[in-house]
Amino acid sequence: MDFSGKIALVTGGTSGIGLATAAKLAQAGATVIAIGRNPERLATAESVVSRNGETIACDISSPSEIVFLMSHVKARWGRLDVLAINAGISDAPAIGDLTPATYNALMDINCRGATFTFVHALPLLAEGAAVVFTGSVGGRKGQPGDPLYAGSKGFIRAFVRSAGTDRALLKRGIRVNVVSPGPIATPLTSEATQDEAALHWIEDMIPMGRWGLADEVADAILFLASDAARFTTGAELTVDGGMAHA
């Protein structure tokens, strides 16, 4: 999968799946723009995107920051060939303890942020561009103890199903797909799952018997962003060790 000469933007590109995706795109020849909020992680990602790309601090829960981000990309790079919409969070209280504030904290990133990253990137997408969202197996199977997160990823799956078959986008050659990971060992999951027994309980639900790796999800994202998937749009590719089908 050769991305030489391609301009790629990865949201949530400074940690976990996003960082692995940014690194693989850079290794495959792309100029990579990695987006994140944490200053330390942004600094780490600098070396990953190499001297040809850049890291940008942007909170996609803020519509005005998304607008500023895309205006910067337009001014410096002119276009996008690959857009990986990966930024997301999973921390929310138990469903009975939800408040409008905690609801908004998650949905403003996972749903609204993802949506308007896509919307404001549309004028920048080159002919034949590929958009890949990061979903979750939770959007298909549900997620015990975290229904809000599962619901946010169910939204992403439905959004991609419709956007990926939009005739106006397809006339421009723009494909939209989603990769839905199962349990993946990342800083996000290690922060959310501290209990050793819970880790093994989740592992037991995976037919392949192990947690996945960020690199394995990144490989799937690169496949859907590449010409190898040129006849694929509106699709979901699960990277979950068989969990969605068990």
- Give, for all 246 residues of the chain, the pLDDT tens digit: 899 999 999 999 999 999 999 999 999 999 999 999 999 999 989 988 977 899 999 999 999 999 999 999 999 999 999 999 999 998 888 888 999 999 999 999 999 999 999 999 999 999 999 999 999 998 887 776 688 999 999 999 999 999 999 999 999 999 999 999 999 988 766 655 566 777 777 888 899 999 999 999 999 999 999 999 999 999 999 999 999 888
Does 244 reside within a domain?
A: no
Does 36 reside within a domain?
A: yes
Does 150 reside within a domain?
A: yes
Could you tell me the residue range of the domain that residue 61 belongs to?
A: 7-238
- Domain count along the chain: 1
Does 245 reside within a domain?
A: no
Does 243 reside within a domain?
A: no
Phi, psi of 217 (to 5 degrees): -75, -40
Does 1 reside within a domain?
A: no
Does 188 reside within a domain?
A: yes
Q: Which helix (H) or strand (E) holds 147?
A: helix 147-163
CATH of the domain at 205: 3.40.50.720
Q: How far apart are CA 62 and CA 108, in angstroms?
A: 8
Q: How far apart are CA 197 and CA 195, in angstroms?
A: 6
103 catalytic per annotation: no
Outline where DSSP puts E strands in 174-241.
175-181, 184-185, 212-213, 236-239
Of 3, 149, 155, 159, the catalytic one is: 149
